[in-house]
Amino acid sequence: MKTGIVIKSVGSRYRVLFSDGSTADCLLRGKMRVRDVQTTNPVAVGDNVIVDPDRDEKTGLITDILDRKNYLLRKASNLSKQSQIIAANLDQLLLMLTIILPETRIEFIDRILATAEAYRIPASLIFNKTDLYGHDETMEMENLISVYSAIGYYCLSLSLTKGTGLEEMKEIMKGKISLISGNSGVGKTTLLNILDPSLKLKTAEISDYHKQGKHITTFPEMHKLPFGGFAIDTPGIRGFGVVDLERNEIYHFFPEIFKTSKHCKYHNCLHLDEPGCAVRKAVELGEINSSRYRSYLSILNDENTKYR
């Protein structure tokens, strides 16, 4: 038996990296079940697993999954009611976003951040393609940085074309397991190619018609970084379904709303139309950003949100 970490997941096949640098392509033992959550993928990239290797040690069976310290969950993209683990055992989430080409929507940002908060995964916002921004786009980016920095999120401006922000990017990724997430076309795979040119990962141009990225990365994969640490590249996400949360706890995962909620008249206040709601008062006074509050309401009232 050998212990390793899952670095690639394609359907029912998994590539496992062992401490000696060797890898094995593995299947899942049929009767094995994951204890903590029902998902479309019982094993995820980042999972630490026990492998029963075949004689050649290049293939094997995954016989057990070690306890996860965390994982990031989303609603499965198909019509099923199941959820999908994007990755497990993360040190941080790096959410790449762009003001234009494509435009990353505020609600999308807040849904991912709320999910990261729920699973205790530190998150940072990486604003890419800054070399393409005119005055209006730069002002919008600076406004968003002001909003999210005030909440406590680390924000970084990045231009992969000019190389600005790249050294800071390496510094925050060094020695950590980082999940790089975001819409298609924001530059996730391009970033990895710059961090490690030997990867030669495939990228594509932005669609001229839709001004959106094309799905090139089709499965999550973990890459070892030459300066230390690992980065997980994920397929681009156009929507993010929030799952496995209690409805009356959603506001806990908006740090500024949770902090202010302690002053509400009722302890079970959902910050909708209850009397004596400190959160709505703070929104009116501009102490809580109105777009963040709208994102909270969107998750709370979304009929597709899967609650426990």
Q: What pLDDT, on the 0 to 100 scale, is given for residue 239?
A: 55
User: Residue 85's CB: how many other CB atoms inside 10 A?
Assistant: 24
Q: Which residues of the chain have pLDDT under 70?
A: 31-38, 76-82, 203-218, 236-244, 303-308
Q: What pLDDT, on the 0 to 100 scale, is given for residue 156?
A: 98
At 46 the three-state DSSP class reads coil
Q: Which residues contact 43 (CB under 8 A, 6 or more apart)?
A: 6, 9, 14, 28, 34, 49, 62, 65
d(CA 221, CA 198): 15
Alpha-carbon distances of 4 from 33, 45, 274, rounded to whole Å: 18, 11, 51
d(CA 122, CA 94): 9
Find tokens 């096949």 and name the residue: 13
Angular region, 140: left φ>0, alpha ψ -120 to 50, beta rest: alpha
By the 10 Å C-beta count (0-12 exposed, 13-18 middle, 19+ buried), 122 is classed as: middle
The domain locations on the chain are 2-65, 71-233, 246-307
Name the class of domain 71-233. Answer: alpha beta
d(CA 188, CA 236): 8
Q: Which residues contact 77 (CB under 8 A, 6 or more apart)?
A: 84
Name the class of domain 246-307. Answer: mainly alpha
Instruction: Give alpha helix (H) positions in the chain.
Output: 106-118, 135-151, 166-173, 188-195, 255-261, 278-284, 290-301
Q: Which residues pair with 50 in a beta bridge?
A: 3, 64
> 2.60.40.740, 2.60.120.10, 2.40.50.140, 3.30.110.40: which CATH number matches 2-65?
2.40.50.140
Q: What pLDDT, on the 0 to 100 scale, is given for residue 210?
A: 38
Q: Do domains 71-233 and 246-307 have the same CATH topology?
A: no
Characterize 170-191 residue by residue with b for buried, 16 or more Cβ atoms within 10 angstroms of its Cβ, and e for exposed.
beebeebbbbbbbbbbbbbbbb
